[in-house]
Amino acid sequence: MHRKLKNCLNVFLILFLLGCGSGSDNSDNEPSTYLIMGIATAGEPVSGADVSVFDEDGSLVRTFTAETKENGTFLVSVDYGAVQYGYYLEITGGRFESSGTIFNDVLKANVNASLVKERRMIHVGYASTLVSEFISRYGETDFDAAEAVVAEFLTIPVSQGLLTDINFYYTDFSESEFSSAASGYSSLDDFNTFLLNELELGHKHSFSGEPMPKGALAAAFAKGLVEGAGQQIGDRATGWVLDEIFGESNEPSVPTGEILDAITDVSNEIKEIRAELEKFQVQISQSLQLILTQTERNEYTTLVTSLSSSIVKIQRLHDTLLFITVHAAGSDDEDWKMLVSDFEKQLNIIELEEILRQFQRVMSGSTDTSSAINLWGNINIKYAFSKQNHQALFNQFEMYANLQLITLQLILEKRHKSKTGMPASYYVDLYLEGMKKQSEIFMSRVEAMMAVSQNTRLYNNSHPYRDTDWFVSISASHTLLNSSTRESAVLAEADNLVANYLVIEPELTVRLALPMILVPDNWIKDAPMVLVHQETSAEYVPDTTYQYSPELPLTGHEPTDSNLWKQYWFINRYVFNDLPAGTYRIKNSINSTMPVYHGMQMIHNTYLEYDIIPASNRQSNVLITTYLNQ
């Protein structure tokens, strides 16, 4: 993938959640002038190209000469009456910015009335052009139907918008892959003719690319917002985008690369998550009647749809913010100044704060709603008997956490420009308070999912976690996670997610797990955990301790002749913050202070003699079990 293309297009990787494609924020009193935001790419951005706008009937409204900027973006204004029922775009001429090569093909996009109302940024590229060619060949008047047919042909999830969404998600559709395939034909028209002939024959063609690397993107984004609230933000931080654009000068300029990267990071991450989550949504939908009770089905539908209008608003505002950031125009560009002015007017702090609180109510649960995280966790646990499915729960948590980060960003943008109102720290604290509740629910669901896989009477050692992650060796040693690291990759990933959104430094989590078979329920409740630094002999106690007993739903696969299937685990979670570098061991205070049960002490020497070395750049975890065969 061409690096410049990635850098420019990454800006527009915006979540468009299932069910959020309808509705509009516009009033009935439409302005006489309509702004069209867009980007033109053909494997990489096309700059200096003409943008021609046609009305619904194909009559030319206006051609804007050499309109696209070096990153392919364009912003033009037309009479609203000419485009209110839909319009058609053509991108001609121009060049590829990286090489200076002349662009000789024509890019096209048919835009329907609903997208006009939504005021979405339009991507005019290979996918939109193929949809336009389909409409032209078959005289299709239903844009959504044409888009769905082409999406299926290209093996793109049908819920993705080919003009507004999926074009920038390289795993499902890579313009570079498409461009490479088209290079064997004399023109783009010839290649599209071939593809439409293939479509007629019932064939499919995929132009998928490599997924974007996923690192600590959300962590950098959250850190910049939380730690930089109330001041100008630098190094890898985001916020105050409009200040970065205007600065002390009347001449706007694009923010620095690091700030621009941080602004786009969270959008990239949401996009990556969305495709995986959609696969889970499809799986859930197909089996919903078999898996969920009627109450759960009602709750699931309510929780999925209740945030739709808020997500639409947040997505559109963020979409515009990113476009303004990348398409920084000169002070004499009236269209751009109008866009910025309209955007600032739409940033209503009271409304945005309520949206943030709404996310928190739905995710954490309140007096009038159950917790979405709990519900989704239970659904995932029900699937856990058949496949390794923790990722769907992780994706759901991560996606909605990112949406809350975006909401916080929009609030701080507006708050920074305002002389009155609550301080920025108020909104940061509101965000962190909500994420703390959500993180605890999320972690308990993850631990429950891992615990349910350990029921030997239920799963007969066949569960995928058994040999790879959280595995109890049923032997005299009875050790949990019989590996050299004694780390659970799944729990480490969960710990990292929580740290990212709570903006905390890497730490160590030690979990003490107790199988709930033939042992008293409260045996480990008050078990102490002390770590001893081997080089200095200094002792450290946990900053936080959680005690959790998973409450697990019925899966439909429980044995009928025994109640032991109900007995899973008690889990103590000990969290250590800011441990000095070095090697640690668990102090043998648990065995010396806790009561012996049937001659069994709590921790085996295997764990007491294990060297724990916390990582310096990520969350570390150690997973141990009580020793039942002393």
> What would the pLDDT profile of 566-584 be if each residue is shown by its tens digit?
456 778 899 998 899 999 9
Residue 419 burial (CB count, 10 A): 4
Q: What is the pLDDT of residue 430?
A: 96
Give the Cβ contact number of residue 365 at 10 Å: 19
**What does the mean pLDDT of the chain come to?**
76
d(CA 194, CA 277) in angstroms, rounded, equals 33
pLDDT tens for each residue of 134-174:
999 999 888 989 999 999 999 887 667 788 865 455 667 88
Query: How far from 147 is each of 22, 156, 475, CA to CA, in Å?
Result: 16, 10, 58
Q: Which pLDDT tens digit goes with each residue over 548-561?
A: 776 655 555 555 54
List pLDDT tens digits, range 178-233. 999 999 999 999 999 999 999 999 999 999 877 554 545 567 667 777 776 544 43
pLDDT tier for residue 466 given thresholds of 50, 70 and 90: low
Q: Is pLDDT at 521 greater than 70 in this prediction?
A: no
pLDDT of residue 409: 83
Least reliable range by pLDDT among 234-243, 458-467, 608-617: 234-243
Q: What's the confidence (pLDDT) of residue 593? A: 79
Write down the pLDDT at residue 461.
52
382 has pLDDT over 80:
no
d(CA 348, CA 405): 16
Enter the tokens of residue 223.
Answer: 């850190």
Output the pLDDT for position 536.
Answer: 96
CB 230 within 8 A of CB 182: no
Domain ranges, ordered by start, for the chain: 31-200, 217-444, 456-625
Confidence of residue 565 (pLDDT cuts 50, 70, 90): very low
**Is the pTM of the predicted complex or chain greater than 0.95?**
no
The tokens describing 306, both together, are 């209740």
Angle at 622 between CA 438 and CA 552, to 5 degrees: 45
Question: Going by C-beta distance under 8 Å and a sequence separation of 6 or more, which residues neighbour residue 419?
Answer: none
Q: Look up residue 299 and give its two tokens.
A: 């709750």
Highest mean pLDDT among 238-247, 427-436, 506-515: 427-436
CA 499 – CA 479 distance, rounded (Å): 28
Which of 143-148's residues contact partners 24+ apart within 8 Å by CB, and which partners?
A: 143/86, 143/110, 143/112, 144/112, 146/110
Beta carbons within 8 Å of 184's beta carbon, 6+ residues apart: 191
Measured CA to CA, the distance from residue 559 to residue 564 in angstroms comes to 9
Q: Which of 217-231, 283-297, 350-364, 488-502 has the lowest mean pLDDT?
A: 283-297
Highest mean pLDDT among 22-26, 251-255, 410-414: 410-414
CB 164 within 8 A of CB 109: no
CA distance 487 to 106: 54
Dihedral angle of Cα 191, 197, 198, 200, to the nearest 10 degrees: 150
